[in-house]
Amino acid sequence: MLQVQFLRDNKTRVLEGLDKRNFKEKHLVEDAVSLDDQRKKIQFELDENLAQMNKISKEIGQLMKEGKREEADQAKAQTANYKESIKELQQSLSETEEKLKSVLYLIPNIPCDKVVAGTSADDNEIVYQSQEVKGIGEGAVPHWELAQKYNLIDFELGVKIAGAGFPVYLGKGARLQRALVQYFLDKNTDAGYLEVNPPHVVNEASGYGTGQLPDKEGQMYFVNEDNLYLIPTAEVPVTNIYRDVILDEKQLPIKNTAFSQCYRREAGSYGAHVRGLNRLHQFEKVEIVRIEKPENSYAALDEMVKHVQGLLEDLELPYRILRLCGGDMGFTSALTYDFEVWSAAQEKWLEVSSVSNFESFQANRLKCRFKSGEGKSQLVHTLNGSAMALPRIMAALLENNQTPDGIKIPKKIAEYTRFDKID
C-alpha cells in the first residue's frame, strides 16, 4: 500500500507509473488525497473539541471549589454538547479513515525505473538466456505421457479424489518431488536463509498484509467457517511473521526460506496450456523471503536472481530470465524477474520462478518498520522469490531428459533421489 504523503509528493511519478501498468483508475490517487484532506480536517476539529472540553472540565473543578455552583452547572451543560460533538466527529473520522484505506488498497505499487511500459507478457524483456533451444525431434513425448508410461503421476486418480488440478505422485515420481524440495531447501539454507515451517492457512489480516487481498480474493480457497484462506504461496505466512513488528537495524537483513503446499483456484483457466503439470490447483514450492533496509533492497534482489540462476544451472535445464513490463507485473511489485525453463516436447517456455522487490508497499500494509541507530523508525523493504516451484520444473526435467532407455536425472538431484535414471 502506498503512503498518502508519497502520493502527494510524487504525483507525476505516480501517474507515470500507473500508466506503465495500464492502470485505468488513476482518479483513485486524487480520491485518496481528497479523503486524507477530509480526514485531517475532521481530526483538527476533533482535537479542538477535545481541548475545549478538557479546558471546561478543569474550570468546573475550580468553580466548584469557589462555591459557584450555578456557573459550574452551566459549564457542565457545555461539556455535554462537546461530548455529543466529539462522538459524532470520532464516528466520522473512523468512517473516513476506512474509506481512505479502501481506496489505498486499490492502487497498485509504482514500478521502478527499470520497468518498461507494456500490456502483456509479449512486452517483457529477455535479459538473459542460458542457451539456444530447440525441440528434441520427432517422437518427443510430453511429460503427461511420460508420467503415465513410467507410473510417476496419476492425473485421473487426482480427479477421482479431489478434481482436476490435484495430481497424485507415485513411486519415483513422488521421490523425485521430495528430492527437489530437499535440494532447494538445502541450497537456500547454505546461502544463509533460515528455514521456517509456517501454517498453510492464513487469516484475513495476513492476506491484506502481503497484498493477496483484495486483489486476488477470487483466486484463493476460502474456509468459510473459520474465515481462513489456504495459502497461494509460503510468501504470505512467512512475510506476515513480521506484521506489526518494529525491528532493530542490527536484525537486518532477514532471510527466510520455507517449503509449502500452494493452493490456487486459477478460476477461468482452461485449454491446452493447463494440461498435465502446466497449471495446478495444488502444488509444492520452496520460497525465499527477505526483509531489507531500503538502500540495500535492489542489491538483495540481484543476489536473489543469481541464487535462482544457480539452482537452474544445477538442474541442467535451458532457462531464460525476463524483466516483466508494467502490464504483466503483480499488483504489489516494484520490479519482478521471471525465470522460465524450456519444455522440449511442448516446445515452449514454462515459468518456474518469480523474484520480486516490493519496496515498502507490503511493509506499509504490514506496519513493519526498523529502528536505526538514531532511534528513528522507517518502513523496511520486502522481497520474495520462488526457489523453486516444482510442477513445471518436474515437467521440464522429464521432457528434456527423456532418452530411448528412460529419463536421466541430473547429477545434483540424483544425490537426493539415489537413482540416476527412471526406466
Q: For 130-219, where are the E strands, in sequence order?
A: 153-154, 168-169, 194-195, 201-203
Residues forming beta bridges with residue 386, ordered by sequence position: 287
On whether 189 is known to bind a ligand per the annotation, the reply is no
Closest of 335, 331, 333 to residue 321, by C-alpha: 335
What is the C-alpha separation between 65 and 61, in angstroms, rounded? 6
Q: What number of other Cβ atoms are within 10 A of residue 202's Cβ?
A: 23
Cβ burial of 201 (10 Å; 0-12, 13-18, 19+) is middle
Q: How many residues does this entry show for the chain?
A: 423
Contacts of 84 (CB under 8 A, 6+ apart): none
Three-class secondary structure of residue 217 per DSSP: helix
On whether 156 is known to bind a ligand per the annotation, the reply is no
Closest of 133, 136, 50, 131 to residue 90, by C-alpha: 50
Contacts of 139 (CB under 8 A, 6+ apart): none
On whether 233 is known to bind a ligand per the annotation, the reply is yes
CA atoms within 13 A on the CB side of 165: 16
Residues forming beta bridges with residue 290, ordered by sequence position: 255, 383
Q: Sign of torsion, CA 275 173 157 387?
A: negative
Residues forming beta bridges with residue 381, ordered by sequence position: 292
C-beta of residue 286 within 8 angstroms of C-beta of residue 386: yes
On whether 70 is known to bind a ligand per the annotation, the reply is no
> Could you tell me the three cell numbers for 203?
487469516
C-beta of residue 284 within 8 angstroms of C-beta of residue 390: yes
What is the C-alpha separation between 78 and 85, in angstroms, rounded? 11
Contacts of 91 (CB under 8 A, 6+ apart): none
On whether 279 is known to bind a ligand per the annotation, the reply is no
On whether 188 is known to bind a ligand per the annotation, the reply is no
Q: Return binding residues.
A: 233, 264-266, 287, 351-354, 384
Binding residues for ATP: 264-266, 351-354
Q: Which residues are annotated as a binding site for L-serine?
A: 233, 264, 287, 384
